[in-house]
Homo-oligomer: A and B are copies of this chain.
């Protein structure tokens, strides 16, 4: 119980209220008893969180810290989420912005199986961003999706992932679709000498996730797209830890944690740090200027946390996407540098020359800049 874990929050003011909020969180997340509960000294001193400094942030908001015994998080992502934002999630205006943990906490996590360097080795790509696309629209035939993926590979694309809306009614449909697209990409790679990866969307009943993942890997594909907010963060951690596959994390359903910026979890902590902790080799997020309300600073912060030193964990590659246009290359290069995945979906697929020309156009734009 000697090591400490510090959770950092933003809460509503004034200062006296912020202080009360920190104390409430410290109690709520550990012993959850009324403040006048007769706690034994060993629990009051050894278990209850300690409310730390209160710092004004402007706009009536304050930053507070709560310091917990690190052992209460048990080196587990689910336990950490429960400790730092279990009941605290129920309070309006409370936002978890960061957690500072001891090195021992990180030792329980393997993080990304491949990470930035591993992905570059798999793809044989150095010194430039990776180019990804999303296979869509939903409702397309397997043959149409396969043709788009193959064309993207021929055009020099690195990663063709299923759109997260692509779901299969049965394991049989999943196998048939994944095989068809996987074969098409393999054939395109064989013809071009390329190494484009196809990452199918791993979804479906929880009972089948492992079998579906095994099918993907036995088929010769290297990884999958997952939606951790839907599957459960520890479920993704479990899958990633059990199989040396590439995991690309999509933010579907996680927006409730940060769409309102005055509550929930800081985008860079959720989409950067937490996704990396559970093993995301690539973390997808909505780029500024696309269809979602992310600011350039927020996007840079996500990328920063995906790649910054974090114990022995490999860096994740940030993948800005969500309505990216073909002429965004200079901005993408400036904002994210070479260690990023440019995720261009609809606009690449609807290039007048098709997905092959779309991929080629972006690779050329990339070459002119980076």
Tell whether A129 is near chain B: CB-to-CB under 8 Å.
no
In contact, B32 and A346 (Cβ under 8 angstroms): yes
Is there an interface contact between B90 and A32, defined as CB atoms closer than 8 Å? no
Is A183 an interface residue when CB atoms closer than 8 A count as contact? no
Do A350 and B38 have beta carbons less than 8 Å apart? Answer: yes
Residues of B within 8 A of A72 (CB): 138, 167
Seen from chain A, the residues whose Cβ lies within 8 Å of a Cβ on chain B are 24, 28-34, 36-39, 42-43, 46-47, 71-72, 74, 76, 78-79, 81-83, 85-94, 134, 136-140, 163-165, 167-169, 203-207, 227, 229-235, 237-238, 251-257, 259-265, 286, 291-293, 322-323, 345-347, 349-350
Q: Report A152 CB to chain B, min CB distance, Å.
A: 15
Residues of B near A347 (CB, < 8 A) are: 34
Is the beta-carbon distance between A252 and B89 smaller than 8 angstroms? yes
- Bound-state CA distance A205–B262 (Å) is 31
Number of copies: 2
Given contacts A89-B255, A255-B90, contact A33 B82 (CB under 8 A): no
B82 A227 Cβ-Cβ under 8 A? yes
Would you give 15 A-B contacts (Cβ < 8 Å), ordered by A? Answer: A30-B165, A31-B139, A33-B136, A33-B346, A34-B323, A43-B138, A74-B169, A78-B231, A82-B252, A88-B255, A89-B229, A206-B237, A230-B234, A231-B232, A231-B234
A329–B328 alpha-carbon span in the complex (Å): 62
Residues of B within 8 A of A137 (CB): 30-33, 37, 39, 43, 47
Chain B's nearest CB lies how many Å from the CB of A40?
Answer: 8
CA distance A87 to B263 in the complex (A): 18
When the two chains form their complex, are residues A164 and B82 in contact, meaning their CB atoms are under 8 A apart?
A: yes
Q: Give CA–CA (A205, B239) in the complex, Å.
A: 12
Contact A82 B346 (CB under 8 A): no
- A140 contacts B90, C-beta separation under 8 Å: no
